[in-house]
Structure 1
Amino acid sequence: MATSTKSYRVRIGGVADGGNPTPDLSPRAAFERWLGRLRASKADLTVSGYHYQLKLFIEFCEQEGITSIDDLSGWDIDTYETHRRKKGVELNSLSKELGTLKRFLEYCARIEVVDESLPEKVDPPDVPRDAQVDETRLEPHRASALLSYYDEHAYGTRPHALLTLAWYVGARLGALRGLDIDDYDSDEAYLEFIHRPREDTPLKNGADGERAVGLSREVCDVLDAYLEGERHENYDDYGRRPLFTSEVGRGSRSAIRSWTYLATVPCLHTECPHGHDPETCEYLDYSKSSQCPSSRSPHQVRTGSITWQLNRGVPIEAVAERVNTSVRTLKRHYDQPTKREELEERRREHVDKLGFDEDEDDQDAVGENGGEQE
């Protein structure tokens, strides 16, 4: 009696360095592996950003029946980009999505689960500079008016302390949220930003974001008044004493954001530019302050602060270190002077040189009256 044999085909990937077969990963498995690697060195918010920028591509692969990332081709990448363009995705968003895809595929090529040439087939579109930058910011004249209002009418309150620190330092929302009382030294006039990921207060750039930042005596006086009067004496879940507290503990990210919006509504220092009555305006409510067209987010306060610091003549390298970003990123995303600001703030010192002083007048007189005549 003849014995039948069955033939089984088992797919095994290529051979990586060292002679071990490369595993056959699905796009989602490779994606999760990459994110896991990033979590070891990147802040949770950064990893979440990569996740949201790439998850649609992973879903696209699954819808297209691409079960092995090794099967991914340049045609698939171009098809995905065309699909996203037809969806009406903004050019800036599309560029970010494809840039993240390129980084992901570079990782895949490095571990040899895709061909090394595949990342080069991702071509993020060029984005005009004015489309890359959100030009909405807290303008210096408005910051000055708001802080003057707090100086006169609400000195040392939480919104006063929060806006003062956000403006004069230019820190990110997460960095402000993570500050403890022990991070602030009034006598020496500085505060420290410390990366504490295991206690729910990471810095965006991890340990590289740790730094000490000097404060003016004016800023310290506001913080001291806040600590002595209006700060809720609460601890967070790790037994730390947060600088900015709610009634129950450390302010959440959404709370810090809402407090900043509420601290920047224009009705605090001027008539409402939108014709609303401050007595009945719903935008003055904590939960709706972000809907006011003139209130500003922590990021928009940061953007305004950085531009202001540069316009005040602080060297760009010093500002970059103070606000924890690179000079390149600062120039591209935050350094947004208007044409008039460039004239008034950055070129005025040179214009002042274009005059005649008395010595020059005297020398001219000698040349005309007492010098050698031809």
Structure 2
Amino acid sequence: MDAPAELSPRDAWDRYVSRRSTETTAGSQKTYHYRLKLFVEWCEENNIQTVSEFSGWLFEQYESKRAGELAASTLNGEMQTIKNFVEYLERIEAVDEDLSEKVHVPIVPEGEEASDVKLSTEDARALLTYYRNNEDVYGRKHHALLELLWHSGARLGAVRGLDVRDFDEHAKLVTFTHRPESDTPLKNKRHGERAVALHDEVVDAISNYLTHHRWETHDDHGRQPLFSTAKGRPSRNTIRVWCYQATLPCLHSDCPHGHERETCEFTEFNSASKCPSSRSPHQVRTGSITWHRDCEFPRSVTSERVNASQRVIDRHYDKSTHRDRMEHRRRPHLDKLSLDDE
């Protein structure tokens, strides 16, 4: 049996990704796989034959190369993945102890951690008002999906994994459950399981969808997906396309980009994402979390509701401007600072 130090970068990569498969979701596995694939291919191009040749200088060279190709936040993620990979190699004694400390993970400048693009509260209000007041679209999949995404702040994968049984009309809630054995894992696994209370308008829209517009189909595991297609459970990309279609601004007002809806290519199924004003599920989630905070929803409750730590929310999702924070969150408390006696 070869010594661990004699593993090639590719063999070590395969072993590492295999080990992580029991700890991460399929989406995270793909991310790790792709990031390390690029690093391994670079090692092979530079004739690095075994992991014993890894060094601080090698990591520095790779980071310098990638720095000229990536945004700061993306480079941060890639180097952190490499650092985790080297920590695994330390554990199996394939490389020197503390080698991972020589992997530099660049700090992301404040404000560059994530895109500021989100579905604004103003746009969400306009869209939901349109859906709620238009009987031709009320309760259809685009309406029910947007209601749920906006009011729950849930991730795309969590919403895709919902079954009809997870919606309780009488209790006015949805329950998110980790079901990896039937292809609907939650990002944070069991820690992502939760019940989320829904407002009456959201419950009514979903109930109408289930009664009148849902495809009566099952997925490949015999489950009844809450959001369904003629073939069963929709793919992640299908949910994403529905969301882009659901957030087109021309649904409720004139196009802000000067197009006519009747002739605009952005209204076509595969082109809605090209509209500068349509939004992805992640951008709806970002807007929803910001809205929760602007409504002075308690930070701890918001954290549980959207299944994200308060630190992650503050850093990556809460996209209020400084003025928004002042107007919505601090101004209501201004009277408490009065020097006048009551």
Which TM class, normalised by the smaller chain length? over 0.9
Map of 1:295 onto structure 2: 278
Amino acid at match of 1:176: V
Map of 1:4 onto structure 2: none
Map of 1:143 onto structure 2: 124
Q: Distance in 2 between matches of 1:23 and 1:343?
A: 56
Paired residues of 2:5 and 2:51 also in contact (CA < 8 A): no
Which of 67, 70, 73 is matched with 1:89 structurally? Answer: 70
Map of 2:15 onto structure 1: 33
Map of 1:155 onto structure 2: 138
Paired residues of 2:143 and 2:246 also in contact (CA < 8 A): yes
Q: Distance in 2 between matches of 1:341 and 1:348?
A: 10
- CA, structure 1 residues 78+356, in 2 after alignment: closer, same or farther (shift >3 Å)? closer
Map of 2:91 onto structure 1: 110
Q: Distance in 1 between matches of 2:42 and 2:5?
A: 22
Report SS of the residue matched to 1:321.
helix
Aligned residues: 340
List 4+ stretches of structure 1 deviating above 6 A. Answer: none
CA-CA distance at 1:356 after TM superposition = 8.4
- Note if 1:128 corresponds to 2:109: yes
Amino acid at match of 1:108: L
CA-CA distance at 1:318 after TM superposition = 1.1
Map of 2:188 onto structure 1: 205
- Note if 1:62 corresponds to 2:37: no
Report SS of the residue matched to 2:206.
helix
- Note if 1:256 corresponds to 2:231: no
Question: What RMSD, in angstroms, separates the aligned Cα atoms of the two structures?
Answer: 1.6
Map of 1:79 onto structure 2: 61
- Note if 1:180 corresponds to 2:163: yes
Which of 150, 153, 170 is matched with 1:167 structurally? Answer: 150
Amino acid at match of 1:24: E
Structure 2 counterparts to residues 339-358 of structure 1, below 5 A: 339-353=322-336
Q: Distance in 2 between matches of 1:89 and 1:243?
A: 38
CA-CA distance at 1:299 after TM superposition = 0.2
Instruction: Structure 2: state its 5+ residue gaps.
Output: none
CA-CA distance at 1:331 after TM superposition = 1.0
Q: Distance in 2 between matches of 1:158 and 1:257?
A: 12
Map of 1:226 onto structure 2: 209
Q: Distance in 2 between matches of 1:311 and 1:269?
A: 24
Q: Distance in 2 between matches of 1:12 and 1:173?
A: 43
What are the superposed Cα offsets for residues 152-207 of structure 1, whole Å, 9 maximum, x if unpaired?
11211111100000000000001110100001111111111111112111111112
Report SS of the residue matched to 1:129.
coil
What are the superposed Cα offsets for residues 44-85 of structure 1, whole Å, 9 maximum, x if unpaired?
001111111221111111112211101211111111122223
Report SS of the residue matched to 1:221.
helix
Q: Distance in 1 between matches of 2:331 and 2:54?
A: 57
Which of 306, 320, 327 is matched with 1:323 structurally? Answer: 306
Map of 2:253 onto structure 1: 270
Q: Distance in 1 between matches of 2:339 and 2:62?
A: 65
- CA, structure 1 residues 12+231, in 2 after alignment: closer, same or farther (shift >3 Å)? closer
What are the superposed Cα offsets for residues 327-349 of structure 1, whole Å, 9 maximum, x if unpaired?
11111100121122112210122
Q: Distance in 2 between matches of 1:46 and 1:308?
A: 27
| TM-score, normalised via structure 2 length | 0.96
Q: Distance in 2 between matches of 1:81 and 1:138?
A: 34
Q: Distance in 1 between matches of 2:165 and 2:112?
A: 41
Structure 2 counterparts to residues 237-248 of structure 1, below 5 A: 237-248=220-231
Q: Distance in 2 between matches of 1:12 and 1:244?
A: 50
Q: Distance in 2 between matches of 1:79 and 1:73?
A: 10
Q: Distance in 2 between matches of 1:347 and 1:112?
A: 53
Structure showing greater Rg: 1
Q: Percent of aligned pairs with the same residue?
A: 49
